[in-house]
Amino acid sequence: MAISKLDDLKLWIAGPMASASKPMPDGSKPGPGGWGRFVVQVNDPSDKVSQLRQGGIVFKNDILEGPGGKQILCVDPSGNLVELRLNNSL
């Protein structure tokens, strides 16, 4: 993964072995470019997942933990893919 930064804006570019290239538990596979998505950094993904599920938000997977930290993907009410990621130094 490469991260480019300009002031407070960060652009994350995932490589072919990153989580953006892997299929979801339901069997759906990413299209060209992987799972393009917005990333929202949170202090506690588990707490946010519980709150969002109660509000009817659908999640594509369970919380994953890897070299970049904890992450989970959800779909917002407009159908956009959003990643919740543990707020760390990335």
Structural tokens at position 70: 């904890």
Q: Please name each of the domains of the chain with its CATH number.
A: 2-86 (3.30.720.110)
State pLDDT tens for residues 5-58.
778 777 776 666 676 677 778 888 777 666 678 888 888 878 889 889 999 999
pLDDT-based confidence at 89, cuts 50/70/90? Answer: very low
d(CA 76, CA 69): 22
State pLDDT tens for residues 13-27.
666 667 667 777 888
pTM tops 0.75: no
Measure CA 22 to chain center. Answer: 12
